[in-house]
């Protein structure tokens, strides 16, 4: 257990802080989430710590939070070759393969065995990828939410570019330089600030705020120097919110997203890494995810960010169990906010049907 705690602590250090100085900018001309030293910040207030789960931390100090592999779900591949069908396939953590008509989109792709700068150490995945890259239909677009290792994986980015040399990467402000260092041509990177828009084929993309932070590892000079957020994808009259990693904050970011985009047809919402309760300053709890589902008037949501990398104190089945409870308490039907199987191909809407 000591060894395991040490590994968990070391894993956590990848996500912890360091600072450096930078030339001062004129803040009067900058949006409020930009700081004078060229970094970014959350502009909403921090919400109170949550103790809304069934787990009293003191009572379960030594619980076993080992992750076991989820079974891989197969079938439904014919949906991928029918351009009237739009599907979502969970690969693990926040990685989804979205097949939107003829367009293939990957969110925060990580196919690697570890969320780490090196292949031999760091947080190891509990479940293998739901699908390997070679088994997926083509990838045209990659959406990145922020630079944490479990969301931005160098090996996966390079593999995708090698297999699909024309692929476009849509990334937060100031992340392009990092991808260019990895060999991605700048012409294939779309870099956006909060509320900025971009177009890709018949998709309209909007980079939207999230209460979170950014840094790659301890002593990272670039702490909060790359922006973080989520993506709204609009395709004709349909909309998707890929939330990325989010804490609730005071909720104002999400109220604004809802005011601009709700009702949203399909939401990808994180439900894991919320224990101990102080982590709700970085991540939403399952109950908060359920509240966001309601706020966005989401017609259908799928949970993400669980059962993949064991980075925090929630046990593997805590997120879906707590989501179950929240759904019951908030009267959300089970088929409106569901947990996906690993690798499962889920139909999110059918162009031939107007109301599903
Ligand atoms: Zn994160």
Q: Is 51 contained in some domain?
A: no
Length of the chain measured in residues: 356
C-alpha distances (whole Å) from 356 to each of 86, 238, 256, 283 are 11, 11, 26, 30
Q: Is 47 contained in some domain?
A: no
* Range scoring the smallest mean pLDDT among 47-56, 116-125, 141-150, 256-265: 47-56
CA of 149 relative to ligand 1 center, distance in Å:
8
Q: 32 versus 3: which is more confidently predicted?
A: 32
- Would you state the pLDDT for residue 355? 54
CA of 148 relative to ligand 1 center, distance in Å:
5
Over the stretch 224-252, which tens digit does the pLDDT of each residue have?
999 999 999 999 999 999 999 999 989 99
Q: Is 299 contained in some domain?
A: yes
CA of 332 relative to ligand 1 center, distance in Å:
27
Average the pLDDT over 318-328 and give the result: 96
* Range scoring the smallest mean pLDDT among 24-38, 42-56, 97-111, 161-175: 42-56
Write the CATH number for 323. 3.60.15.10
Q: Is 24 contained in some domain?
A: no
pLDDT above 70 (res 81): yes
Q: Is 208 contained in some domain?
A: yes
In this structure, the dihedral spanned by the alpha carbons of residues 111, 115, 116 and 120, taken in order and rounded to 10 degrees, is -70
Looking at the structure of the chain, the number of domains it has is 1
Look at residue 348 and give its three-state secondary structure: strand
CA of 181 relative to ligand 1 center, distance in Å:
21
Q: Is 33 contained in some domain?
A: no
Over the stretch 270-317, which tens digit does the pLDDT of each residue have?
999 888 777 888 899 999 999 999 999 999 999 999 999 888 888 889
CA of 350 relative to ligand 1 center, distance in Å:
32
Average the pLDDT over 69-88 and give the result: 96
CA of 247 relative to ligand 1 center, distance in Å:
10
Q: Is 313 contained in some domain?
A: yes
Q: Is 29 contained in some domain?
A: no
- Would you state the pLDDT for residue 50? 52
E-assigned strand segments in the chain: 85-92, 95-100, 103-107, 141-143, 168-172, 189-192, 197-200, 203-208, 230-235, 238-242, 266-270, 301-304, 337-338, 345-350
Look at residue 254 and give its three-state secondary structure: helix
Domain extent, residue 123, equals 2-19+59-350
CA of 147 relative to ligand 1 center, distance in Å:
7
Asked if 309 and 272 touch (Cβ cutoff 8 Å), the reply is no
Over the stretch 17-49, which tens digit does the pLDDT of each residue have?
333 444 566 777 889 899 988 899 998 876 555
């Amino acid at each position: 257990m000591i060894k395991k705690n040490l590994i968990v602590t070391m894993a956590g250090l990848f996500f912890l802080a360091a600072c450096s100085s930078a030339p001062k900018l004129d803040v009067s001309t900058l949006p409020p989430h930009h700081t004078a030293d060229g970094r970014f910040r959350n502009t909403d207030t921090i919400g109170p710590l949550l103790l809304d789960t069934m787990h009293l931390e003191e009572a379960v100090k030594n619980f076993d939070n080992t992750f076991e592999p989820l079974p891989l779900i197969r079938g439904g591949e014919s949906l991928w070759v029918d351009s009237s069908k739009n599907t979502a396939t969970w690969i693990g953590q926040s990685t989804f393969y979205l097949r939107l008509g003829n367009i293939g989109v990957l969110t925060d792709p990580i196919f690697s065995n570890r969320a780490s700068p090196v292949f031999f150490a760091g947080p190891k995945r509990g479940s293998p990828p739901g699908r390997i890259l070679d088994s997926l239909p083509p990838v045209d677009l990659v959406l990145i939410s922020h630079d944490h290792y479990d969301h931005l994986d160098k090996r996966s980015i390079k593999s995708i570019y090698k297999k699909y040399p024309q692929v476009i990467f849509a990334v937060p402000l100031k992340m392009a330089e990092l991808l260019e260092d990895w060999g991605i041509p700048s012409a294939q990177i779309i870099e956006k600030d909060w509320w900025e828009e971009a177009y890709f084929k018949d998709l309209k993309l909007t980079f939207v705020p999230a209460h979170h932070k950014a840094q790659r590892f301890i002593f990272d000079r670039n702490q909060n120097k790359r922006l973080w957020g989520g993506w709204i994808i609009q395709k004709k009259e349909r909309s998707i919110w890929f939330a990325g990693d989010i804490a609730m904050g005071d909720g104002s970011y999400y109220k604004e997203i809802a005011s601009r985009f709700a009702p949203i047809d399909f939401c990808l919402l994180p439900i894991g890494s919320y224990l101990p309760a102080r982590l709700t300053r970085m991540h939403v709890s399952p109950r908060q995810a359920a509240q966001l589902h309601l706020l966005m008037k989401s017609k259908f949501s799928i949970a993400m960010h669980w059962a993949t990398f064991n980075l925090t104190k929630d046990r593997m089945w805590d997120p879906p169990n707590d989501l179950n409870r929240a759904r019951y308490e908030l009267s959300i039907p089970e088929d409106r906010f569901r947990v996906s199987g690993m690798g499962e191909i889920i139909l999110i809407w059918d162009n031939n049907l107007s109301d599903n």
